[in-house]
Structure 1
Amino acid sequence: MATSVLSQRPTHEPQLTPCKHQVAGHLFEDGKAGSFVDECGHFYKPLQNGPRGRREQEFYELIMAILQSEECYHPRRRLSGSYGSRDSAEPSGEGVESSSGASCIQAEERLAEGQTEAGAQPETHLSFSVRNAALLRAIPLCYGLIELDGVRMIEMEDLAGQYRHPSIIDVKMGFHTWYASGDARYIERRKAKDAATHQSSLGFRICGMQVYRNFQRGYWRASKRWCKGLPQEEVRKALLRFPHNESNLRAADVYGGQHGALSQLHQLLQWFKVQQEFVFYSSSILIIYEGDAQKQSETNVVIRLVDFAHTFPVNGERDSNFLNGLASFMSVLEDTVAADTHDDCSL
């Protein structure tokens, strides 16, 4: 893009510390440029060099530019104005809605009512923020672009920062993580990796996980090697382990219920059934809940869609790869809830 709408921070540098709750991606312990957090509840993700970093930046730029041009709210902020604001890291966005924000909410509700049937066509006459409200709810709030010591980073909300003891799972979506426009070497490498894991057979892959254990007052973390070597027959057991925090939580307390992961994923699934504006390769779903919760009402479950280094804008193309992978993931989660009898699920 010729002009960046990701604002540069001209003031003093923030005090950054390594993010201790990052469970996948580039990690400091692997010798990579890991992510940071600050004292204000913001998360800083270094952009990769080359086209990958450029695509991720352009994805957020596109979202921010459109919302600013529409003078519409972000669905999780319920405020008019820009996509994100450095004035507050609070994602709930308490405040008084503008008339434009209220009209967006009403139109969003009408859109949701009309898109419940499978195969429905996208309502292209509606504004971007309305027809893509489910996407906007799922992606992190973005505050801008910052450069420190020559490293460009996207500044966004710290998803784990609102939790005392965040339990997090990172699940990469899609039956394949390669795209036809990639070079032959890239496609060959991704195909081999997909085939070596349960990505190509299940349509998703667990890339990282941490579970807070109340009794032991600490985290169990799955290493990259553990995730890569996880056999397909053990995937449901891993998904069963994630909600078990040694405080009598069950899979239904995290995945089920009106505000659980499955309910939130269903909203995203309905959007993928009709949207024809983006395709997402190698993007992940994060599920986060309060690790020391004693009951479902305390879990504060959220799902987020992250990682857009291989996301492309399209015109009239349905993202069946992500859609089918998400549907498969939800089906396995539903089976996990049904099978949860609190048997031993230690890993």
Structure 2
Amino acid sequence: MASRTTTKVTHYHVQKKRRAEFLESWRANRRTVVTADDVTLHPSERGHRIGVYVGVDGDRPTRTMDAMVHEFDPGTTTTVHRHSWDAMVFVVGGWGWTEIDGERIEWGPGDSLHLPAWSWHRSGNEGETTARYLTFSSEPMLDTMGMSVLEDAGDADVADLPGRPPYTETMTGDDPYARRVRRLAREQDARRTGRLHTSWDDLELLPTPRGTRTTFLLDRAIGYQASGITMAMFEIAPGRAQSMHRHPGEAWLYVVEGNGHSYLGTEPEGGEKHPWKKGDLIIVDHFLWHQHLNDDPDHTAKVVRIHMFDSLLETMRVLTDPLVLFEEPPDHIRDAQAGDPTTVDWPEVVRPTWP
């Protein structure tokens, strides 16, 4: 006689319990500001030190992006590795180089780099002082789909390693399969020829109606081909603020220079204020109204902002349309909050220092 195994629990109850446990765990690990002092650096087998601002591997789980810090002593050369996700790099101190699929890129404080998915890469420091950079990657998003893959090749020469996964470049016909082949080939052609480096010396910060002056660091608008992660920097004038707004999804803000505080709340008033300083990471999430304020009356504050607007957040917007998922106050309130950035005597843009 055939036997059957039953749980006596409906799929409804299983899913409800699982979702409740997930949210409970998420809320227990939620942070608003991770300070530089909260990050512990660990020696790694790659030959450098690494620490986690936010990410599962540092016991601060996230769902779409992570943020890590890497330090390189003089004379360091890391192992070469690659992974199925891509990453953004922002250099906070020291001078060094990164090799991406055999192309060597020299970098210094304030520079930005893109490490494309499946690209072999390693970094080194041939200077006399410790070098330090941050990485922001889409690994958590790929992990939710079971697609996170990492391969370390030790000290191998990139010329001896396999290239990025091959793909079919073209196919004739107008059937859906042939159209898909050509579409994906065009996508890969574009992604494999994207920009890899932004030098601090080439940055131009421009005033915006939100009370700050800003510039792209890594974005498709300036030639990058990333997985939807975008990185920009904004500068807040002394004693001024960025206007309030809100959006869904995770966004990281790394404080490059200065000190201040951020307002976060479910409403434009009555929320909480969270202080921050140089080296801290501000975590904005959960569709909260937020505003970033510079508490220093004499010096500007510089903040690097990273989120996945071009992929995850845009997808959320169309899935929930006509709900509005990106909101700003009316122009007259925005202008009152931000002030006129054109009246600010902005200082010369100089490379950041660490510490």
Larger radius of gyration: 2
Q: Which has the higher contact order (CA 8 A, sep 6+)?
A: 1
Same fold, judged at TM 0.5 (above): no
TM-score (norm 1): 0.25
TM-score (norm 2): 0.25
More strand, by proportion: 2
